[in-house]
């Protein structure tokens, strides 16, 4: 009995070593010539997808993965599809796939993953992000329509100018930094919504269920505010007559009337704060 007990840990170690050895790491490169405004669709299961601009009319994807999964790539005219396929997906480390993708700056990009991260930066084309627990980060995007949907993954949008933004999450936090799109609408069920920076001429609708909404701008005079929380508190440095409902049509205050941006803030149970950023 003792000898068999002593051999058990050794057997486990040998088995673990065999599993590690069987999952070899691969690095594949997929390259496709494209014309203007190509459509790029990438669907992953676990891991990262990072998209940055290329210097020419070409899509180049460098994919790092184990042999536990297979990458399928295909081109149909100006549409590129890259997909992760795994017959026995377990969510283990061996299933993780890392995509590093270069695309023309005007590409229409669609990214989807269950868990991991999705990110894109310095692009001008429309973007669609879909994730479950995956985090989403869009940075330096210009004149694009950005659509984001997650279940619990956090959403970060930074230095977005022009275009439209739609972001929806059930329980993730949403962070907006220097976003100034023509229309910006974000919804979070239980997560926190934060806005900081210069809103430009944007029109913002920020809605939460139970999460708080925190808006910080360089000067209150930069925007008009309409804020309402059904069961939460509203805290804003505005004179008493408009302390809890900061009206878009408030003619009493010339600074608000002449403001360039507009915020519509609404929460059911969450607190709402509007403040000037510390200088």
Residues 65 and 149 in one domain: yes
Query: Is residue 7, in this structure, part of any structural domain at all?
Result: no
Q: Kindly state whether residue 5 falls inside one of the protein's structural domains.
A: no
- Residue at which a domain ends, from 89, 119, 153: 153
pLDDT of 260: 85
Domain identity same for 94 and 164: no
87 lies in the same domain as 141: yes
11 within a domain of the structure (yes/no): no
Asked whether residue 179 is domain-assigned, the answer is yes
Do 149 and 187 lie in one domain? The reply is no
Tokens 């994919």 map to which residue? 63
Give the predicted TM-score (pTM) of the model. 0.84
Domain that holds residue 206: 157-279
Question: Of the residues 125, 153, 181, which one is the last residue of a structural domain?
Answer: 153
Encode pLDDT of 104-159 as tens digits: 999 999 999 999 999 999 999 999 999 999 999 999 999 999 999 999 999 999 99
Whether residue 223 is contained in a domain is answered as yes
Q: What is the domain count for the chain?
A: 2
Which secondary structure element, helix H or strand E, spans residue 203, and what is its range? strand 203-208
Mean pLDDT of the chain: 85
Does 15 reside within a domain? Answer: no
30 and 118, same domain (yes or no): yes
52 shares its domain with 125: yes
pLDDT of the residue at 92: 52
Based on C-alpha coordinates, what's the Rg of the chain? 24
**8 part of a folded domain:** no
Q: Are residues 178 and 85 in the same domain?
A: no
How buried is 44 (Cβ within 10 angstroms: 0-12 exposed, 13-18 middle, 19+ buried)? buried
Residues 220/253, Cβ–Cβ less than 8 Å: no
pLDDT in tens, the chain (279 residues): 444 444 444 444 443 444 444 458 999 999 999 999 999 999 999 999 999 999 889 999 999 999 889 999 999 999 999 999 875 555 555 579 999 999 999 999 999 999 999 999 999 999 999 999 999 999 999 999 999 999 999 999 999 999 999 999 999 999 999 999 889 999 999 999 999 999 999 999 999 999 999 999 999 889 999 999 999 999 976 543 333 344 444 443 333 445 789 999 999 999 999 999 876
DSSP 118: E
Which of 153, 177, 201 terminates a domain? The answer is: 153
Within-domain flag for 14: no
Strand partners, 116: 47
Helix ranges restricted to H, the chain: 2-22, 254-257
- Are 172 and 154 a contacting pair, CB within 8 Å? yes
Q: How many Cα atoms are found within 13 Å in the side-chain-facing hemisphere of 14? A: 5
């Amino acid at each position: 009995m003792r000898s068999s007990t002593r051999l058990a840990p050794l057997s486990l170690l040998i088995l673990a070593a065999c599993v590690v050895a069987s999952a070899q790491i691969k690095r594949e490169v997929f390259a496709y010539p494209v014309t203007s405004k190509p459509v790029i669709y990438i669907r992953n299961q676990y891991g990262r997808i990072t998209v940055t601009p290329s210097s020419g009319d070409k899509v180049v994807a460098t994919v790092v993965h184990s042999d536990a999964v297979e990458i399928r790539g295909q081109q149909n005219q100006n549409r590129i599809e890259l997909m992760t396929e795994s017959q026995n997906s377990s969510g283990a480390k061996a299933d993780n796939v890392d995509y590093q993708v270069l695309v023309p700056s005007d590409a229409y990009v669609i990214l989807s993953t269950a868990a991991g991260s999705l990110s894109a930066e310095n692009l001008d084309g429309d973007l669609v992000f879909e994730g479950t627990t995956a985090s989403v980060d869009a940075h330096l995007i210009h004149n694009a329509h950005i659509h984001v949907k997650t279940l619990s993954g956090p959403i970060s949008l930074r230095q977005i100018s022009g275009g439209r933004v739609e972001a929806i999450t059930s329980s993730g936090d949403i962070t907006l930094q220097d976003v100034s799109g023509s229309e910006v609408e974000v919804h979070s069920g239980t997560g926190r919504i934060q806005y900081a920076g210069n809103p430009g001429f944007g029109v913002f609708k920020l809605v939460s269920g139970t999460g708080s909404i925190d808006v910080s701008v360089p000067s209150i005079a930069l925007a008009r505010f309409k804020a309402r929380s059904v069961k939460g508190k509203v805290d804003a440095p505005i004179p008493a007559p408009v302390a809890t409902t900061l009206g878009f049509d408030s003619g009493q205050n010339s600074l608000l009337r002449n403001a360039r941006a507009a915020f519509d803030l609404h929460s059911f149970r969450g607190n709402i704060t509007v403040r000037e950023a510390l200088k």
